[in-house]
Structure 1
Amino acid sequence: MPDARATARSAPAAAPAAAPATDKSRSGPARALERLGLTTPLALALHLPLRYEDETRLTPLREGRLGLPLQTEGVVTESKVELRPRRQLVVRLQDDAGDELVLRFIHFYPSHQKTLAPGARVRVRGELRGGFFGREMVHPTFKAVQDGTPLAASLTPVYPSTAQLPQAYLRKAVAAGLGRAPLDEVLPAGSVPAGLPTLRDALHFLHHPPPKAQLATLEDHSHPAWQRLKFEELLAQQLSQMQSRRERALLAAPALPARPGGLHERLLAQLPWGLTRAQHRVCEEIATDLAQPQPMHRLLQGDVGAGKTVVAALCAAIAMDQGWQCALMAPTEILAEQHFAKLVQWLEPLGITVAWLTGSRKGKARQAMLAKVASGEALLVVGTHAVIQDDVVFSKLGLAIVDEQHRFGVAQRLELRRKLRAQTDDGRPLEPHLLMMSATPIPRTLAMTYYADLEVSTIDELPPGRTPIVTKVFADSRRHEVMERIGEEVARGRQVYWVCPLIEESENDDNSRGTPLSELSNATATREDLAQALPGVEVGLLHGRMPPAEKAAVMARFSAGALQVLVATTVIEVGVDVPNASLMVIEHAERFGLAQLHQLRGRVGRGSVASVCVLLYGTPLSDSGKQRLKAMVETTDGFEIARRDLEIRGPGEFMGARQSGDALLRFADLAEDAPLLARARSLASQLLDRHPAAARAQVARWLGQKAEFLKA
């Protein structure tokens, strides 16, 4: 990186307006632009600065303050290469008042020495430091000047970049893109909030703010120019969502009304418990959708243990009662198997054949299942992504259910919807109804933004008899106390989870949360430690690298009580239901996201016995790590957890692959821009009704192909 910056400082290259994608002779910076996605004038115009440097004025050295940036000008009095303590270029500069400054370059080129030769007049900018030989700057920016060389007319932008893309080159490219980008107003007069500039003026201001611009409003994105960009982006996103909802209303789906005394009522009658009011409410909401001849597109959300699976089963029973097939797709084999076991237990006594399809099911067993699906004998198909493989052909797929939907990619969800190959009487293709489920509750603002095209059903109460989980936080130095507690729980006949972030020492794990890999425990070693510390206790091991059959065997032993302690990685995050487990230990909890910690904690407290979740953390803790652990101690409410998680992390991970790796909101902040969002929602409906051409132009400008991701 220093080499690239140094090159830019001494001899900025000319940025080409655009280069053909197939031109192999392009420079490194040109290829770097392409890797950053900066391939069109509009993309360049929307590549906004991270910060700004003030090159609009000169400050005498004697007025500079140590530790702050300074731009000054003077004549080089000495320039030499020193070899000790390391090879470096040392330059002495004298300003017009006679004060001296040392410029120090650890990385330099012959062009540096040429520009910084004795007698040359140069303008330098950098952080002023106190050195052994007086004031100095290390690797300042510089350029040769003459007396009277004009200063910059605006603040100098500093853009997000890479090592192969010098700032000087990038600035020229962005300026060229800004000049050619199609930034004409497409919205009707009077539709933009009062006081906001045009899009063109907003972008010109953000790329080249005047010297007296309020930097604070630029940095916190509250300036009217920023507000215009946020509004434009939110409006495009809302338009896309509303358009998607309207387009779906024109599609056809099988109408599946619930029959009085039908399969769903027989299933409900044989359940050993009653539904909560919230479960009854969401069942009615989904049943109403299924009865319509347009495809349902509904998200069922509820906290861990709220009873989403039984709701899905009752709704599937409505479709199956009409002779239509249902598919339930889960992200992991463990979760899919948990669903399969429950659904077989509930539905087979009622005469429903349930098929099981996963990647590990091969050969004759798989072919037999495929035949049952194709013939329609299997009315319910449960599995992983194997459900959407090409060789899986449904007879009549009426309802597709996707559990933990944020873990699936757009293409996978779309492929499941394409499995229905029937047509209406007038030749229109039929779409299956789609029910997506999530145990990660979605904050209202996020649902308004990213799921505006969905109907959302919320199970906002837990089944009776569930005991609240107590969460405790301990430093890793107290793990021996935790092991003693495990012995006490096992002695009472209870079972325990111990979750580790690594499988073995050699695993190349990401260290983004700050804990050195050498300090991270791993599942294999922890299992051995626990087996030694708890003689006579059966300690099992479960991780994602185990063969599926071996994982299933371990889970079966733990569920049956043959294993008292299960050491696992996050493969147990969702779907595992062992009511006898009363203690969860999460090691290096600071490395897990808040939603993931909440999911893991939900593996205990599934029975009537008081349960405890222990969060072990390493030191030092980052600020966000402290916030996550504090939130876990203060609340077990999944909706409050989701709200805090949104504050800490932003919306990205709530969306999962719905955005196909590209954030649909680059500039707007859901936590701060609620008023803009409300205005955008209101205007979006008006534009679709009265100005459809403007609506299409707005979506095309801001979302392009990404609008398709919202339909999955």
Structure 2
Amino acid sequence: MSDRTVPRGPASTEPLDQPLVRLLGDRTAQRLEREFGMSTVRDLLEHFPRRWIERGELTPIAALPVGEQVTVVARVISVSRRQMRSRRGFLVDVTVTDDHPGRPVSLAMAFFNSHDALRRLSAGTRAMFHGKTAMYRGQLTLNNPDFTVLDEDSAPSTQDLGPVPVYPATGKVPSWVVRSSVETALGAVNWSAITDPVPPELLAEAAPDGGEPLPPLSEAYRQVHRPSSIGQARRALQRFAVQEALILQASLGLRRAASADATSRPWPDRPDGLRQALDDRLPFDLTPGQRRAGERIAADLSAGHPMSRLLQGEVGSGKTLVALRAMLQVVDGGGQAALVAPTEVLAQQHHRSLLQALGPLAEGGTLSAPDGPSTTVVLLTGSMSTAQRRTALLAIASGQAGIVVGTHALFADHVQFAELGLAVVDEQHRFGVDQREALRQANPGIHLLVMSATPIPRSVAMTVFGDLDLTVLEGLPSGRQPVATHVARMSHGPRVIARVWEVIAEQVAAGHQAFVVCPKIDPTDTLEDHAEPSAPADPELSGDGGGLEDRRHDASVEDMVPRLQGLPVLQGVSVAGLHGRMSPADQDEVMGGFVRGDLDVLVATTVVEVGVDVPNATVMAVLDADAFGLSTLHQLRGRVGRGGAASVCLLATRRPDGHPALERLEVLAGTQDGLEIARADLHQRGEGDITGAAQHGGSRLKVISVLRHAAVIELCADWVAVRLEQDGGLDGHTALLTAVRRWEQGHAEAADYLERG
């Protein structure tokens, strides 16, 4: 972000910004920084509890279940240490009793290499233990539990104990160390010197059900770490969700305002240029939605400030054509446009589809170039030979290449454009806020158009794309048909998959074509290899949405091609394979044959996920469909239903009834609504680092869930928008601007994002 976006001020003197080493000493501070990245009091106090335990959750030892997380308050009877026999290290054996008045029972615990247990637990000590129970030699035990030694004043009874926070911890920094450090910080901070970035009126407006305003910052810190009740802790956490949403929306709003104030070269529409020539050669009419979106984008390109726009549309709505027309408008003015894909495979597909759409218009500089306007479309990828790359780089630097297609490496230092006017980003894997900002900083005045593959919930759009203006591409091209979708449960018997092949045979006999999609290229692929790299938005490949399953038997292209050719029901049907390890020439040959109708069945990986338009294809069979996320499956389904005939998508799975993976397949079978599918995808996969900022580690959002906190996000976005419009900035909210600056500095990784594709 530029200095003009968030005013820079003197270094903060707030007590929350003091180093932890001053408060906790070198040893503890170094452990917290090494394990959690904490360096200041603020970092520590914003390491929020993952749960709170209150007295009502305590269970008598006699009633403890096996294999579950439990919490007990107990008195230590004995502590002993012994060396382990099978490996280096020692065990600390601790026996406790809960002194239950009805039936006092003892419980054995084992701590591995725990100097803390030796030092802090002794006979007579009363403590609260939290962990997972197990059976060992017929006896119930608690291994390596987290524990909190209780003060002597509260030891005789737990009646007056408030909820006890349990913190995210590691083996080297257990929860009690975090809790003890937090207690030290809470007692040392000068709370009267704390400034609150959230204005009181917003705390009142964000209160659940119109109740009491959410607590101010100083109270919220104390209430989240020392709550008198679980409800109080949750209200405090809600307050921090408001703060996080406000800071994020302020950052995005200021970015957008700075972009609007910047200047750029205008690229006015030329009625006799390439864009009009493309329209004249299209074999169909643009949809009303495509025309409206095109007019909005054309107006942005003609203005004197950089466009920053998100083009959001349903699968098959024609976003790429809208983007191509925008690129040609820039080329008509003598500039260059770049189309950025997340992977080389997709970049190659985009390059082929642009050449096909432009035809002779892409033969600029050749003997076959038309008499009218023309240009050159250049592909630049890492797998090209040195000679090919040299030729492409020369065409880009000289300006001969009007349109350049590649991955994010297009913006590396060694790629020099003659005059880059527009970057179109295929938003296949969330080109995040910081990546977009870096692109703008490196190319001042550039116009930016980001394409979203599917509709997304509004709260997600506000969080991920809040720095962009939104254009929704409504409607589908004429002739698009709804696709009937069915889950083929192979666990119900061999007849199920046999019927899949029969459906394909029937459609081929009727003169149509079929896709068969496999998770793997060849049978030897490992889990890491087993998805084509064209589906980065759906990195989870486990059938249950969590953990790694054995996927060695998933279908592969190289295995399925000969198997289908040998099926009696498909005798006489032409079958070929397509995947990303094939050379571009071989891919072109196979794909070209399928487009022309020379091939009946195309067995492929997810290379067919986007950019493939075969109106005659009426069947999509996805084998081991549970290997893919919902967004990928929705994209794949969009490859059929493009002609006038009824189409079907068959999701084949080996998973048994009741398996969690079947839930997402049923979602797809039950709706064509991309927005509903996107919500389900987020729920099932988790949000991850939706802002695209974290280069390593988790999300930079500590509290917010964009689905659970949708109302909070929208409230804060509206608040920021009103202030920016009415006041022209946030200068009257110094504490908020300071928080935004601090937050941005804390997440300004020196992004090597150019290589992430």
TM class by shorter chain equals: 0.7 to 0.9
Q: Is the 8 A contact 1:406 1:655 kept in 2?
A: no
Is it true that 1:266 corresponds to 2:277 in the alignment? yes
Counterpart among 720, 723, 733 of residue 686 in structure 1: 723
Residue equivalent to 1:11: none
1: CA distance between counterparts of 2:281 and 2:656?
53
Preserved contact between residue 78 and residue 92 of structure 1 (Cα < 8 Å): no
Residue 674 of structure 2 corresponds to residue 638 of structure 1: yes
Q: What does residue 402 of structure 1 align with?
A: 425
Counterpart for residue 502 of structure 2: 484
SS of the residue corresponding to residue 314 of structure 1 reads helix
| Closer/same/farther in 2, CA of residues 325 and 76 from structure 1, 3 Å limit | closer
Number of the residue aligned with 2:256 = 245
Cα separation, 1, equivalents of 2:302 and 2:742: 37
CA deviations on 1:285-317 (whole Å, 9 max, x unpaired) are 001111111000111121121112221222222
Assess if the C-alpha contact under 8 Å between 2:381 and 2:407 holds in 1. yes
Give the 5 Å matches for 1:60-75: 69=70, 71-74=72-75
Matches of 2:648 and 2:196 in 1, distance apart?
58
In structure 2, what is the Cα distance between the partners aligned to 1:502 and 1:551?
Answer: 17
Query: How far, CA to CA, are the matches of 2:500 and 2:307 in structure 1?
Result: 48
* Amino acid in the other structure paired with 1:532: G
Q: Which moved more, 1:54-63 or 1:351-360?
A: 54-63
Q: Does the Cα contact within 8 Å between 1:590 and 1:621 map onto a contact in 2?
A: no
Offset at residue 281 of structure 1 (A): 0.5
CA offset at residue 463 of structure 1? 0.8
Q: 2:243 aligns with which of 232, 251, 261?
A: 232
1:507 is matched with 526
Secondary structure of the equivalent of 1:335? helix
Q: Which amino acid aligns with 2:298?
A: A
Determine the structure 1 residue equivalent to 2:53.
53
Match of 2:738 among 684, 689, 697: 697
Moved more, 375-384 or 285-294: 375-384
Q: Aligned-pair distance for 1:635?
A: 1.9
Structure 2 residue 172 is matched with structure 1 residue 138: no
Amino acid at match of 2:99: D
**2:120, 2:184 → 1: CA distance?**
30
CA contact (8 A) 1:115 1:143 kept: no
Q: Does 1:37 align with 2:41?
A: no
Q: 1:101 maps to which residue?
A: 105
**Contact 1:91 1:116 (8 Å CA) reproduced:** no
Could you say what secondary structure the match of 2:77 adopts? strand
Moved more, 72-81 or 510-519: 72-81
Label 1:320 to 1:602 Cα distance change in 2 as closer, same or farther (>3 A). Answer: same
Q: Match of 1:265, SS?
A: helix
The secondary structure found in structure 2 opposite 1:258 is coil
Q: Conserved in 2, the CA contact under 8 Å of 1:376 and 1:395?
A: yes
Letter in 1 for 2:251: S
Matches within 5 A, 1:506-655: 506-509=525-528, 512-514=542-544, 515-533=549-567, 534-620=570-656, 625-649=661-685, 651-652=687-688
- Post-superposition CA distance 1:86-136 (Å, at most 9, x none): x99584748374844232345556979978999756546458989899995
Relative to structure 1, the CA distance from residue 610 to residue 200 in structure 2 (aligned partners, 3 Å threshold; closer, same or farther) is: same
Does the CA contact (< 8 Å) of 2:519 and 2:605 recur in 1?
yes
How far the C-alpha of 1:242 sits from its partner, in A, is: 1.1
The Cα offsets for residues 125-157 of structure 1, whole Å up to 9 and x where unpaired, read as: 458989899995533566888976646853221
**Structure 1 residues without counterparts, runs of 5 or longer:** 1-15, 421-429
Query: Does the 8 Å contact 1:299/1:438 carry over to 2?
Result: yes
- Please list, as runs of the form range in 1=range in 2, the aligned pairs for 1:434-449 lying within 5 A after superposition: 434-449=448-463
Answer yes or no: is the 8 Å Cα contact 2:134–2:142 preserved in 1: no
Which structure 2 segments of 5+ residues have no match?
A: 1-17, 86-90, 205-211, 363-369, 529-539
Q: Alpha-carbon deviation of 1:659? A: 8.5
The 1:532/1:36 distance shift into structure 2, 3 A limit, reads farther
Q: Does the CA contact (< 8 Å) of 1:325 and 1:396 recur in 2? A: yes
Query: Partner letter of residue 283 of structure 2?
Result: P
Q: Within 5 Å, give how 1:404-483 maps onto structure 2.
A: 404=427, 406-408=429-431, 413=436, 417=440, 430-477=444-491, 478-483=496-501
Distance 1:546 1:176, change over 3 A: farther
CA distance in 1, matches of 2:589, 2:288: 37
Q: State the distance in 2 between where 1:230 and 1:694 align.
A: 17
2:410 to 387, 410, 420: 387
Range 184-193 or range 454-463, more displaced: 184-193
8 Å contact kept, 2:76–2:123:
yes
Shift of 1:269: 2.4
In structure 1, give the amino acid aligned to 2:502.
E
Does the 8 Å contact 2:347/2:405 carry over to 1? no
Secondary structure in structure 2 of the residue aligned to 1:345: helix
Matched, 1:154 2:162: yes
- Within the alignment, does 1:164 sit opposite 2:172 as a pair? yes
Q: Supply the distance in 2 between the matched residues of 1:113 and 1:680 (Cα, whole angstroms).
A: 46
1:9 counterpart residue number: none
**1:456 counterpart SS class:** strand
Kindly state the Cα deviation for residue 513 of structure 1 after the two structures are TM-superposed. Answer: 3.1
In structure 2, the CA distance between the partners of 1:247 and 1:384, relative to structure 1 (3 Å rule), is same
2:226 aligned to which of 199, 208, 217: 208
Tell me, yes or no, if the aligned pair for 1:328 and 1:402 is still in contact at 8 Å. yes
Mean Cα deviation higher: 291-300 or 550-559: 550-559
Instruction: In structure 2, give the amino acid aligned to 1:686.
Output: R
Contact 2:689 2:699 in 1 (8 A): no
**Any idea what the Cα deviations from partners look like across 1:467-526, whole Å, max 9, x if unmatched?**
221111111232222123223333334322222223334503476433432453333333
Report the counterpart of residue 320 of structure 1 in structure 2.
331
Tell me: CA distance 1:540–1:183, structure 2 relative to 1, closer, same or farther (3 Å).
farther
Could you tell which deviates more after superposition, 501-510 or 109-118?
A: 109-118
In 1, the alpha carbon distance for the partners of 2:69 and 2:702 equals 30
Q: Output one character per residue of 1:209-237: Cα deviation in whole Å (capped at 9) or x when no partner.
A: 22xx145x75xxxx431221111111111
Q: Quick check: 237-246 or 605-614, which moved more? A: 605-614
Count how many residue pairs are aligned between Structure 1 and Structure 2.
676
Mapped to 2, the partners of 1:391 and 1:110 lie a distance apart of 53
Displacement of 1:279 in angstroms is 0.8
Q: Show CA shifts across 1:295-348 (max 9, x none).
A: 001111211211122212222222222222222222323432333323431733
Hey, what does 1:427 align to over in structure 2?
A: none
How far residue 528 of structure 1 moved from its aligned partner, in angstroms, is: 3.7
Distance 1:535 1:201, change over 3 A: same
Distance 1:170 1:112, change over 3 A: closer
Identity of aligned residues (%): 36
> What CA distance in whole angstroms lies between the structure 2 residues aligned with 1:339 and 1:268?
16
8 Å CA contact 2:336, 2:418 repeated in 1? yes
Return the alpha-carbon distance in structure 2 between the equivalents of residues 370 and 38 of structure 1. Answer: 44
Letter paired with 1:52: W
Give the whole-Å Cα distance in 2 for the aligned partners of 1:94 and 1:198: 39
| 2:706 is the alignment partner of 1:665 | no
1:341 aligned onto 2:355: yes
Distance 2:167 2:186 in 1: 14
Counterpart amino acid of residue 603 in structure 1:
R
What is residue 217 of structure 2 aligned with on the other side? 199
What whole-Å deviation, never above 9, does each CA across 1:153-199 have from its counterpart, x for those lacking one?
Answer: 53221112233332222223344455567853244554532611111
Q: Give me the whole-angstrom Cα distance separating, in 1, the residues matched to 2:148 and 2:405.
A: 67
- Contact residue 278 and residue 358 of structure 2 kept, 8 A: no
